[in-house]
Amino acid sequence: MLIGRVARGLRLRGVRHAPFGVAQDLLGGVAAVGVVGLADLLLGQWHGATGHTIFGNLGCHTRGYPGRAIGNRERRGNAAFRIVAGMDIDMTPKGDLRSRFRGPLLRLGDEGYREARAAWNLNAQQWPAAVVVAEDATDVAAAVRFARAERLGVGVLATGHGTAAPCHGGVLVNTSRMTDVHVDPAMRTARVGAGTKWGDVVRAAAAHRLVGLPGSSSQVGVVGYLMGGGFGWLGRKYGFAAASLIQAEVVTADGEILQASAHENADLFWGLKGGGGNFGIVTSAEFALHPVENVFGGNLFYPVERARDVLERYAGWSRTLPDEMMTAVAFRRFPPLPAVPEPLRGRTFAAVRACYCGEDLAEGERLVKPLREALGEPAVDTLAIMAAGDLDTISMDPVQPIGAFQHMEMLRDLTPAAIETLVGLGTASPLIMLEARQLGGALSGSAAELSPIGHSNARFSLNAVGPTPTPESGRLVRSFLTYLTEAVRPHVTGTTYLNFLELDEATPERVRAAYSPADWARLVDLKYRYDPHNLFRFNRNIPPAGLVQGGAR
């Protein structure tokens, strides 16, 4: 998502502007975010995935603790619901159990519980029975063994990005303290802990003129991103980040610590590379780095009134590009706030995004030239040679947590009919971003590799994001995303991309659609072998073979 504070500021014609906080300014400093309609909060109904009944008014969320149900009204300062657990919350582990962990073990009411369970998307509220803030793999293993003994599910949180299924009533393993980074410049590899952010890897690798394969934000955790596939501005050249995985240390559902690679536990290794954390908790990962020091990248912003022309010309131009060039076309809306650079302030744009990572960066400029000539002078032009560590400035994703809803599809192509639909959707909407990102190249993978986009022949992923600073805006965004889903249906493949499925987008049907039938059958079998009771279920869940709806076998 691309709402919020731009980490390193924005370069406009060679001048770097100070960082600006679109999301925080939209929120006006208010932390309340609407959680209306979250599928995981079934008002007064049995929540089968966790074995809990959840009550409440689904009102505003702020930073308070969950209290008793407060009736059918919204009130700031309380998360207006409570959880009635299969095991008494008062029996949450304490006392001598805490001595099993090097890191803190927290339960509802403990100092630090609120922060330790907080997801990055403020709409992703979760109230685990206990949070283990792990210091190392042995803490993770102890947490898994405890959850298994108590028949509680296990969730994982590193940076809190990409929450698919909130960990209500389970044991949440927080890996944010496991942030070791080791770069081997001779082998061109990096080994990271479970809580490491991409920004830490980018900085460590840049010292050796190397780069990993981060997504659109360096604030995202490396391990979770890898487990869901992961692709960003270098994807068409180097493929999914998961494909660069060399070795992983994994805590399995029985609390054992295993090593997985192409030569050791190879079946598990295959499933880790796009299986979304269903087979265990990865406590460290080693992956390949690539010899990229600089890229040619940025945005061409055109007034939204020219959207049809921009999309039509982009569609033809994108077909001519080599794999070294990754591109996207997006509708971007900026608020009318002083913190936003004046050329962008209060305006909506049709933006062409590009990143060229070939050896001769002048070739990137030459490749863009025909599009520049066809479209004429943009309102804002940020295309330039930049350090590979500055890839964040292309997407301009947020740094601070925000509340948002999103929807993704896989777009067959930018046909004239699809372009007409997108123009209608993007020119006037509550969304802050609607992006069609180019696929192909190394992202196509091979039949032997696990594909988190279902081995799709789609030419673009389509991602729509709307901010939800108030309950009213939340309802508006959700309604519009429902409308968008129907509007684009004639133009999409029906497959999905795993990492873009958040909250109630991560339905069983949508998760399954991220995989080919052959991959899905293999994943379900693998899940049964490594996690037959679906201990790891607070995720984009792959049920084990034989598990029926509701958790019975």
pLDDT tens-place string over residues 24-34? 333 223 333 33
Which pLDDT band holds residue 445 (cuts at 50, 70, 90)? confident
Q: Can you give the pLDDT at residue 490?
A: 98
Judged against a pLDDT cut of 50, whether residue 521 lies above it is answered with: yes
Q: 541 lies in a domain?
A: no
Q: Can you give the pLDDT at residue 10?
A: 52
How far apart are alpha carbons 192 and 197 in whole angstroms?
9
Q: 98 lies in a domain?
A: yes
Q: 140 lies in a domain?
A: yes
Q: 433 lies in a domain?
A: yes
Q: Can you give the pLDDT at residue 96?
A: 60
- Whether residues 259 and 397 share a domain: the answer is no
Judged against a pLDDT cut of 60, whether residue 469 lies above it is answered with: yes
- Whether residues 194 and 148 share a domain: the answer is no
Which H or E run includes 115?
Answer: helix 113-116
- Which of 264-273, 439-448, 496-505 has maximum average pLDDT? 264-273
Taking a C-beta distance cutoff of 8 angstroms, is the pair 154, 536 a contact?
A: yes
Structure tokens, 480: 């519009």
pLDDT (average), residues 375-399 = 93
Alpha helices in 356-429 (DSSP H): 362-375, 392-395, 416-426
Judged against a pLDDT cut of 90, whether residue 13 lies above it is answered with: no
Judged against a pLDDT cut of 80, whether residue 66 lies above it is answered with: no
Q: Quick check: helix, strand or coil at residue 201?
A: helix
- Whether residues 364 and 502 share a domain: the answer is yes
456 phi and psi, to 5 degrees? -70, 150
**Which range (57-66, 88-97, 153-162, 480-489) has the least confidence?**
57-66
Q: Can you give the pLDDT at residue 334?
A: 87
- Whether residues 311 and 447 share a domain: the answer is yes
Number of domains the chain contains: 3
State the greatest distance between any 2 C-alpha atoms of the chain, in Å, as a whole number. 71
Which CATH number covers residue 119? 3.30.43.10
Alpha helices in 411-494 (DSSP H): 416-426, 471-488
> Side chain identity at 47, as an amino acid letter?
H
Q: Would strands 171-174 and 154-157 be described as parallel, antiparallel, or unpaired?
A: parallel
The distance from CA 396 to its chain's CA centroid, rounded to whole angstroms, is 15
- Whether residues 334 and 465 share a domain: the answer is yes
The mean of the pLDDT values for the chain is 83
Which CATH number covers residue 233? 3.30.465.10
pLDDT digits (tens, 9 = 90+) for 96-126: 677 788 999 999 999 999 999 999 999 999 9
- Whether residues 207 and 100 share a domain: the answer is no
DSSP lists the bridge partners of residue 197 as: 221
Which pLDDT band holds residue 58 (cuts at 50, 70, 90)? very low
**Which range (38-42, 151-155, 270-274, 488-492) has the least confidence?**
38-42
Judged against a pLDDT cut of 80, whether residue 453 lies above it is answered with: yes
DSSP structure string for 132-182: EE-SSHHHHHHHHHHHHHHT--EEEESS-TT--S--TTSEEEE-TT---EE
More confident residue, 159 or 171: 171
How far apart are alpha carbons 78 and 64 in whole angstroms?
5
Q: Which residue has the tokens 């959700």?
A: 478
Q: Which residue has the tokens 């034989």?
A: 546
Structure tokens, 476: 């508006």
Judged against a pLDDT cut of 50, whether residue 361 lies above it is answered with: yes
- Whether residues 271 and 321 share a domain: the answer is no
How far apart are alpha carbons 147 and 153 in whole angstroms?
6
Model's pTM, two decimal places?
A: 0.82
Q: 26 lies in a domain?
A: no
What Cα–Cα distance (Å) separates residue 309 from each residue in 10, 103, 268, 325, 365?
26, 56, 48, 21, 21
Q: Can you give the pLDDT at residue 399?
A: 79
Percent of the chain with pLDDT over 70: 81
More confident residue, 344 or 434: 434
Q: Would strands 81-84 and 433-438 be described as parallel, antiparallel, or unpaired?
A: unpaired
How far apart are alpha carbons 551 and 64 in whole angstroms?
32
DSSP structure string for 19-87: P-BHHHHHHTT---EE-TT-TT--TTEEETTTTEEEEE---EE-SSPB-S---SS--TTSB-EEEE-SS
Structure tokens, 120: 């990055």
pLDDT (average), residues 462-480 = 95
* 517 Cβ neighbours under 8 A, 6+ residues apart: none
How far apart are alpha carbons 542 and 527 in whole angstroms?
7
Which pLDDT band holds residue 396 (cuts at 50, 70, 90)? confident
What Cα–Cα distance (Å) separates residue 364 from each residue in 354, 357, 409?
9, 8, 28
Q: Can you give the pLDDT at residue 70?
A: 25
429 phi and psi, to 5 degrees? -160, 170
Give the count of alpha carbons within 13 A of 262, CB side only.
9
Cα 507–Cα 427–Cα 230 angle in degrees, nearest 5: 40
The length of the chain is 553
Give the count of alpha carbons within 13 A of 345, CB side only.
11
249 phi and psi, to 5 degrees? -95, 130
Structure tokens, 401: 């947590």
- Whether residues 239 and 321 share a domain: the answer is no
Q: Can you give the pLDDT at residue 525?
A: 96
pLDDT digits (tens, 9 = 90+) for 69-93: 222 222 222 222 333 343 443 454 4
Q: Which residue has the tokens 């995981």?
A: 40
Burial, 486: exposed, middle or buried (Cβ in 10 Å; 0-12, 13-18, 19+)? Answer: exposed
pLDDT digits (tens, 9 = 90+) for 169-191: 999 999 999 999 999 999 999 99
Q: Can you give the pLDDT at residue 337?
A: 80
Domain that holds residue 53: 32-174
Q: Which residue has the tokens 């044991």?
A: 171
Give the count of alpha carbons within 13 A of 347, CB side only.
17
Among 18, 16, 36, 11, CA closest to 478: 36
Which pLDDT band holds residue 377 (cuts at 50, 70, 90)? very high
Out of 144, 174, 204, a domain closes at: 174
- Whether residues 466 and 498 share a domain: the answer is yes
Q: 547 lies in a domain?
A: no
Q: Would the CA dihedral through 540, 136, 113, 88 be positive or negative? A: positive
Which pLDDT band holds residue 340 (cuts at 50, 70, 90)? confident
Neighbouring CB atoms inside 10 A of 257's CB total 16
Which pLDDT band holds residue 375 (cuts at 50, 70, 90)? very high
- Whether residues 166 and 275 share a domain: the answer is no
Out of 174, 193, 225, a domain closes at: 174
- Whether residues 280 and 315 share a domain: the answer is no
- Whether residues 143 and 190 share a domain: the answer is no
Out of 288, 310, 340, a domain closes at: 288
Which CATH number covers residue 320? 3.40.462.20
- Which of 6-10, 46-50, 111-115, 160-164 has maximum average pLDDT? 111-115
